[in-house]
Chain A
Amino acid sequence: MSSTLFHYLVFPGFLFTAIVGMIVSWVDRKVTARVQWRKGPPWWQNFADFVKLLGKEVLIPENAAKVPFLLAPLFGVAAITIVSTLIWKTIIDPRSTFVGDIIVILYLLAIPSIAVIVGGFASGNPLASLGASREMKLILAYELPFILVCLIPIIKAETIKLGEIVNFQINNKPILCYPSGIIGFLLGIICMQAKLGFTPFDIAEAEQEIMAGPYIEYSGATLALFKLTRQMMLFVLPMFVVITFLGRFTFSVIDILKYIILLVLIILIKNTAPRLRIDQAIKFFWTRGLFLGIAGVLLALLGK
């Protein structure tokens, strides 16, 4: 019991994920700054932001639904912490996982987005509602291709245990080496972009048109938790793709390089792509995304 709590709260759960997530988000800000030919913030910038937000006043709008408004950020952080714990338990010891944990991860990965939707609607602000409704449409759009992406390693390894998928890749070769794996990996990057709310799919947040969307009424500690959720997701999601497609993750130089290359790839896409409209995003995921996903699954079923 106490070791479970330790795993959940300290390593590899909350504390570890939060700290690495903030550093990973600094990589995001730094690479963005370098792309724009700026110098960028120092490495502890996100820690300073977090501490500062904790010290600020928490305001609750008059016409907000108080309980969901305050609870939504907590649910997001809790869900992403569980995902991180599950993924890191698999990384440390692939045999320690339970049957169906990849399905649990799929469900839990949707919760941060749902928290954003609930928080946005609860805040009673028209722009927040608009952002939340966009986020909802975006979930409907990318969730099906994302599930197809996760199906490819499941079919290849013939198991729904994340640990056995990792073991399969250790014994054979990484799933990326198969044709279906390449399709799944590419589609996975696109879905990840949408899940993280990065351009071209930052439609829900859209700073220039709806002023941070669902987060608009959040201040102080609640905003800090939402920011933290996003930063943790930026750490956890690429890690999930690394262990499902690129083979095992140890703390060796090559594995860390794999992760960093994937991370910088998403950041570069974020910095070079324009924002899509919500209808374009849905159309993209439901036609080309779905087609690619089904093609990948069929190839995997054929053993390619």
Chain B
Amino acid sequence: MSSIALKALTRSIWVFHFASGACNNCDIEILDALTPRFDVERFGIVLVGSIRHADAILVTGMLNRKGAVRLKQLYDAAPKPVVVIAFGSCASSQGIFKDSYNRVVPVDEIVPVDAYIPGCPPRPEAIIDGIVKVIKKLRGS
């Protein structure tokens, strides 16, 4: 990937939000990051409704049997390059649901995960820190 395209990519990350049975806490915190206090649109980050427009897939919630199939399909449908971010304790490590009857494998065994943002739910500062890590990883430093 050329340097100018890479620079543009890190300056304009469009996020697709995949909620796999989250308790809504993480989803609310994502909205917090978009609201006036933190306003991630300053860095060109917006939420998009279609996976075809996405540069990043934000997975929240513990992956359940129905969600796992959809996540794989979504990852295949996304135009590359795309990064996957496991958001919150549940998506990162199955959290308190690790013994649940409905759990399958963790997110990173289905699709390659580029960044984990732990927390229950992560604070907006943690979200922005996670974004910085993703950008650094994309730039390869």
Contact = CB atoms under 8 A, between A and B. Distances in A.
A250 B123 CA distance: 51
Contacts of B9: 52, 55
Report the interface size class on chain B.
20 to 34
A51 B4 contact: yes
Contacts of A215: 50, 53
A211 interface: yes
Nearest to B38: A38
B98 to A, nearest CB: 33
A52 B5 contact: yes
A172 B2 CA distance: 56
A40 B44 CA distance: 9
A231 B4 CA distance: 22
Interface stretch (A133-141, A218-226, A274-282): A218-226
Interface string A191-234: 00000000000000001100110011111100100000000000
Nearest to A127: B50
B12 A33 contact: no
Contacts of B77: 59
Given A45-B12, A52-B11, A56-B79, A40 B50 contact: no
Interface in B1-46: 1-2, 4-9, 11-12, 35-36, 39, 41-44
Interface string A28-62: 01000100111111100101111110111111000
Nearest to A217: B52
B49 interface: yes
B49 A211 contact: yes
Contacts of B48: 212
B81 interface: yes
Nearest to B76: A59
Contacts of A211: 49-50
B52 A223 contact: yes
30 contacts: A39-B42, A40-B39, A40-B41, A41-B42, A41-B44, A47-B8, A48-B8, A48-B44, A49-B12, A49-B44, A50-B8, A51-B5, A55-B8, A55-B9, A56-B80, A56-B81, A57-B79, A58-B79, A59-B77, A59-B79, A208-B49, A211-B49, A211-B50, A212-B49, A212-B53, A215-B50, A216-B52, A217-B52, A219-B79, A223-B53
Closest 9 CB pairs between A and B? A55-B5, A211-B49, A51-B8, A219-B52, A52-B8, A219-B79, A57-B79, A48-B11, A38-B39
Interface of B: 1-2, 4-9, 11-12, 35-36, 39, 41-44, 48-50, 52-53, 55, 77, 79-81
